[in-house]
Structure 1
Amino acid sequence: MALSAPGGDTLAAPASARKFAQRTVERSGVWLLLLVLVSLNLRPLLTSVSPLLPDIRSATGMGFQTASMLTVLPMVAMGIVGLAGARIGSRIGDRHGISAGLLAIAIACACRWFAGSAATLVFSAALAGVGIALIQALIPGVIKHNHATRISAVMGLYSAAMMGGGLLGAIVGPWSAQLSGDWHLGLGMWAIPAAFTLLLWTAVRVPMPPFGKVGTGSATANPRPMRPMYRNARAWLLAIYFGWMNCAYTSLIAWLPPFYVERGWSMQSSGALLGAMTAAQMVASIVLPLLAARGTDRRPWLAAGFLAQFAGFAGLIAGADRFAFVWVSVLGFGLGGLFALCLILALDHLKDPRRAGALAAFVQAIGYLISAAGPIVTGFIRDLTGSFVAAWIMLACSVVALLCITLRFNPATYQSTMHGME
Structure 2
Amino acid sequence: MQQTTPIPLIRTICLIVLVGLNLRPSMAAIGPLVESIRQDVGLSFTQVSLLTALPVIAMGLGCFVSASITKRIGFNGVVTLALVAIATSDALHWFNLGVIGLLATALGAGIGIALIQAVLPAFIKQAAGEKTPLLMGFYIAAIMGGAALSSAISPMVSHHLGWESALAVWGILAVLGVVVWGMRTRVLPVPRQPQGVQVGFSDLARLPRFWSLAIFFGLGTAGYTCVLAWIPPTFTNLGWTETHAGLALSWLTAIQVIAGLVFPALAQRMGDRRPVLTFVLLLAVGGFVLLGTAPAAMAWLATALLGLGIGGLFPLSLIITMDHADEPALAGQLAACVQGIGYLIASASPAIAGLLKDLMGGFEQAWLSLGVIFVGLVGMCLRFDKSQATQHLRLYLG
Asked if Structure 1 and Structure 2 have the same fold, meaning a TM-score greater than 0.5 normalized by the shorter chain, the answer is yes
The answer for the alignment partner of 1:329 in structure 2 is: 304
Structure showing greater radius of gyration is 1
The answer for the alignment partner of 1:255 in structure 2 is: 230
> Structure 1 pair 386/138, CA: closer, same or farther in 2 (3 Å)?
same
Q: Does 1:421 align with 2:397?
A: yes
Distance, in Å, in 1 between the alignment partners of 2:274 and 2:68 is 31
Deviation at residue 59 of structure 1 after TM alignment = 1.3
Matches within 5 A, 1:173-188: 173-180=154-161, 182-188=162-168
| Equivalent position SS for 1:23 | coil
Deviation at residue 231 of structure 1 after TM alignment = 2.2
The answer for the alignment partner of 1:197 in structure 2 is: 177
Distance, in Å, in 2 between the alignment partners of 1:217 and 1:207 is 22
> Structure 1 pair 202/241, CA: closer, same or farther in 2 (3 Å)?
same
The answer for the alignment partner of 1:137 in structure 2 is: 118
% identical aligned pairs: 37
Q: Is the 8 A contact 1:37 1:197 kept in 2?
A: yes
Distance, in Å, in 1 between the alignment partners of 2:292 and 2:45 is 22
Q: Is the 8 A contact 2:207 2:396 kept in 1?
A: no
The answer for the alignment partner of 1:34 in structure 2 is: 15
The answer for the alignment partner of 1:217 in structure 2 is: 194
Deviation at residue 387 of structure 1 after TM alignment = 2.0
| Equivalent position SS for 2:233 | helix
Q: Is the 8 A contact 2:25 2:147 kept in 1?
A: yes
Aligned length: 395
The answer for the alignment partner of 1:15 in structure 2 is: none
> Structure 1 pair 25/124, CA: closer, same or farther in 2 (3 Å)?
farther
| Equivalent position SS for 2:43 | coil
Cα RMSD of the aligned pairs, angstroms, is: 1.7
Deviation at residue 27 of structure 1 after TM alignment = 3.2
Distance, in Å, in 2 between the alignment partners of 1:39 and 1:352 is 23
The answer for the alignment partner of 2:242 in structure 1 is: 267
Q: Does 1:231 align with 2:212?
A: no
Q: TM-score, normalised by structure 1?
A: 0.90
Distance, in Å, in 2 between the alignment partners of 1:336 and 1:160 is 8
The answer for the alignment partner of 2:320 in structure 1 is: 345
Deviation at residue 47 of structure 1 after TM alignment = 0.7
Distance, in Å, in 2 between the alignment partners of 1:130 and 1:100 is 10
The answer for the alignment partner of 1:405 in structure 2 is: 380
Q: Is the 8 A contact 1:30 1:206 kept in 2?
A: no
| Equivalent position SS for 1:231 | coil
Q: Is the 8 A contact 1:88 1:97 kept in 2?
A: yes
Distance, in Å, in 2 between the alignment partners of 1:134 and 1:210 is 15
> Structure 1 pair 49/201, CA: closer, same or farther in 2 (3 Å)?
same
> Structure 1 pair 369/409, CA: closer, same or farther in 2 (3 Å)?
same
> Structure 1 pair 185/403, CA: closer, same or farther in 2 (3 Å)?
same
Which residue, out of 80, 92, 97, partners 1:99? 80
Q: TM-score, normalised by structure 2?
A: 0.95
Which residue, out of 207, 216, 232, partners 2:187? 207
Distance, in Å, in 2 between the alignment partners of 1:51 and 1:37 is 23
> Structure 1 pair 208/156, CA: closer, same or farther in 2 (3 Å)?
same
Q: Is the 8 A contact 2:41 2:99 kept in 1?
A: yes
- Encode CA deviations 1:177-235: one digit per residue, 9 max, x unaligned: 1133x1111100011110111011113335333654xxx334xxxx5443532222211
Structure 2's unaligned 5+ residue stretches are: none
| Equivalent position SS for 1:106 | helix
Q: Is the 8 A contact 2:198 2:330 kept in 1?
A: no
Q: Does 1:388 align with 2:363?
A: yes
The answer for the alignment partner of 1:290 in structure 2 is: 265
Deviation at residue 360 of structure 1 after TM alignment = 0.7
Deviation at residue 176 of structure 1 after TM alignment = 1.1
Q: Which structure carries more helix by proportion? A: 2
Deviation at residue 31 of structure 1 after TM alignment = 2.5
- Letter paired with 1:421: L
- Letter paired with 1:317: G
Q: Is the 8 A contact 1:26 1:147 kept in 2?
A: no
> Structure 1 pair 75/217, CA: closer, same or farther in 2 (3 Å)?
same
Distance, in Å, in 2 between the alignment partners of 1:210 and 1:76 is 27
Deviation at residue 83 of structure 1 after TM alignment = 1.2
Out of 251-260 and 148-157, give the one that drifted further.
Answer: 251-260
